[in-house]
Amino acid sequence: MRFYEYEAREIVKRAGIPVTDFGFATSATEARAIAERIGGPAVIKSQVLTGGRMKAGGVRFADTPDEAEQHAEAILALEIGGHMPRGVLVDPKAQVKQEYYAGVVWDGTRKRPLMLFSDMGGIDIEQVAEEHPGHVGRGHYSNLLPFPDYQAKQVIAAAGVTGSALNRLTPILARLARLFRERDMTLAEINPLAQLGDGSFVALDAHMEMENEGMPRQQALLAELGIGADEGTREGHEPSPFEAAVKAIDAADHRGVIQGKDTGFHGNLGLVIGAGGGSLTLTDAVRGHGGRPANYSEIGGNPSVAKACGLAKAVLRKDGVEKIAVMMSIVSNTRVDIVARGVIKACLELDKDPAETIAIFRIPGAWEEEGSKILDRYGVDYCDRSVSMHEAAGRAVAKIQGAAA
Amino acid sequence: MPGLFIDVEVHDSVGDDVELAKKLEEVCPVDIFKATPGGLEIREEQLDECVLCELCLEPAPPGTVRVVKLYDGTALERT
Ligand code: SF4
């Protein structure tokens, strides 16, 4: 789940990290009142869940409350990247001595949070890491054990920070690391983390993303921030008809899990993929063989036949899909016979011949023998775990390319 | 709509056994059986959801409930 900047800053503030005396306004009059309270130059920032605010004119500087009101009015009417702002954030213009970066991100490979720190803030951390690797400190920490401050200190020191700055920054990164864990975040970023003229530090911008599955545990926080359940996860894009259809099928039946994404996919080979991280690997393998996936999908946890059928139908109904590849990873415990029934049923209900339509069925899973019998009965080409995921993807691509030739 | 993959056959001799019908409704994890005042109803739209768990074979007298796998012609039944 994504947060607006004003919410992210509030989360940071609640964690004990210093922030400016910012305010959130949904009208120009409110923005003016906040600027009057600030009593000096202010920054007016559009609150949208998209990047490119500065370039689009969504961040403006005001020297007086009058100016703040005018800018707020303009920004509130400004669409950025297809998003209308939720409001504006009015922030005192800080006298910044130096900008730093502090962030924590979930490292899916190491299955641990990863702290990142740089003394070059205000720009993308990816760019700093690429161009000035010596200015980025990194460090994983446990998701279970208590977090000791010295781990944060090591990461900051690795970015070349010393002396009193190191001592003052340590509790900030440590609090961010704890916040990340306690609030079920997948990303918690302060950029820039500014050092002011008096040597103190303050978060000038924050970016937070929460694990969707963590939302029920964080209901109290979400309610305090005024975020209603109707807002969902605030995904970055409107779900496509395919994505919405798959989501609805999944929600209607508690058995098993299916997922489908097709934003950015325009291929002719539909994918129904299951288990153990196989979805990404197999989608990549299809691409690696020169194939064009029509979608990304996941199926697992022993869905009903109806659910497997629903996913396969949604894939087959997509524009441009000629064939479907059903591929299970080696660690699948999902029943092969149930998925086979679902996919074959989808073909038949759409008046398609399963033998022609299913390019390959890689069957590792539970009840393989029963699955084989069903696939045999309908003449579907299948393989077991002796054929690697890479080879199975290759066979599917060869078949669809052969059909096109 | 009958199942594409699975059929369930119940012998006439137990078709109106209300107690058995209730038992079958209770044990089947995918709601294929429905107990009615007149006995037993098979919910055809659920047939393909059968997970071949054999739980329905236990409460019925041997041979009176058969779960037929239409894809290979074999059946699950208590002998
Ligand atoms: S085998 Fe199991 S799932 Fe199938 S009909 Fe009997 S009880 Fe229901």
Which residue in the block uniquely carries the two structure tokens 């524009």? A319
Q: Give the end of a domain, one of A180, A202, A228.
A: A228
Q: Are A107 and A26 in a shared domain?
A: no
| A203 and A108 inside one domain | yes
Report the CATH number that the domain containing residue B24 is assigned in CATH. 3.30.70.20
Compute the nearest-CA separation of B70 from chain A (Å): 9
User: Does one domain contain both A276 and A168?
Assistant: no
Q: Which residue from B5, B30, B72 is facing A341, i.e. has the nearest CB?
A: B5
> What are the backbone dihedrals phi and psi of residue A98, each rounded to the nearest 5 degrees, phi first?
-150, 150
- Tell me what ipTM this predicted complex has: 0.96
Q: What pLDDT sits at residue A236?
A: 63
Cross-sheet strand order for the sheet of A358-362: A257-261, A296-300, A269-274, A323-328, A358-362, A382-383
**For residue A5, is it within any domain?**
no
Looking at every residue in chain A, the average pLDDT score rounds to: 93
Which pLDDT value is given to residue A239?
79
* Of A203, A132, A208, residue with least CA distance to A169: A203
Q: What is the arithmetic mean of pLDDT over A48-77? A: 93
Angle between helices A163-182 and A149-158 (to 10 degrees): 120
Is it the case that residue B63 has pLDDT exceeding 60?
A: yes
Lowest mean pLDDT among A121-135, A137-151, A379-393: A121-135
In terms of phi and psi (left: phi > 0; alpha: psi -120 to 50; beta: otherwise), the region of A320 is: left
Two structure tokens written together for A183: 């609030």
A391 lies in a domain? yes
Residues 6+ apart with CB under 8 A from A95: A196, A197
pLDDT at A180: 98
For ligand 1, whether the C-beta of B34 sits within 6 Å is no
Task: Say yes or no: A267 and A398 in one domain.
Answer: yes
Chain A's closest residue to B74, CA to CA, is A373
Confidence of residue A108 (pLDDT cuts 50, 70, 90): confident
Is residue A405 over pLDDT 60?
Answer: no
Above 60 in pLDDT, residue A87? yes
CA distance A283 to A97: 47
Give contacts of A 51-70 with B, CB under 8 A: none
Cα gap A395→A291, rounded to integer Å: 10
Would you say the pTM of this structure is higher than 0.80?
no
CB A203 within 8 A of CB A19: yes
Cβ–ligand 1 distance for B55 under 6 Å, the answer yes
The answer to whether residue B49 neighbours chain A at the CB level (below 8 Å) is: yes
- Same structural domain, A164 and A118: yes
Neighbours of A330 (CB within 10 A): 14
pLDDT the model gives residue A237: 67
The reported pLDDT for the residue numbered A343 is 98
Average pLDDT over residues A195-210: 95
pLDDT of residue A404: 56
Closest chain B residue by Cα to residue A337: B51
The answer to the question of residue B1 being in a domain is no
pLDDT, tens digit, 9 for 90 and up, residues A333-377: 899 999 999 999 999 999 999 999 999 999 888 999 999 999 999
Give me the DSSP letters along A354-379: HHHHEEEEE--SBSHHHHHHHHHHTT
How do residues A16-29 score in pLDDT, each as one tens digit?
A: 999 999 999 999 99
Of A37, A68, A92, which residue is a domain's last? A92
Domain-embedded: residue B71: yes
Domain closes at, from A196, A228, A260: A228
- Residues A125 and A162 grouped into a single domain: yes
Segment A239-255, tens digit of pLDDT: 789 999 999 999 999 99
pLDDT, residue A117, reads 97
Residue range(s) defining the domain that contains residue B59:
6-77
pLDDT of residue A403: 65
Put simply, the answer to whether B48 touches A377 (Cβ < 8 Å) is: no
Q: How many domains does chain A have?
A: 3
pLDDT range class, residue A232, cuts 50, 70, 90: confident
Q: Which domain holds residue A38?
A: 21-92
CATH at A392: 3.40.50.261
For A32-41, how does the pLDDT look when each residue is reduced to its tens digit (9 = 90+)? 999 999 998 9
Question: Is pLDDT above 90 for A81?
Answer: no
**Residue A75 corresponds to which tokens in the numbers above?**
């920004």
pLDDT in tens, A270-325: 999 986 667 888 899 999 999 999 999 999 989 999 999 999 999 999 999 999 99
> Best mutation site among B6, B49, B76 for testing chain A: the one with the most A CBs within 10 Å?
B49
Residue A183 contacts B, CB cutoff 8 Å: no
Q: Does any domain span residue A195?
A: yes
Residue A245: helix, strand or coil by DSSP? Answer: helix
Query: What proportion of chain A, given as a percentage, has pLDDT over 70?
Result: 98
In this model, does residue A238 exceed pLDDT 80? no
Q: Peptide bond before A192: cis, by omega within 30 degrees of 0?
A: yes
For chain B, the domain total comes to 1
For residue B44, tell me if it sits in a domain. Answer: yes
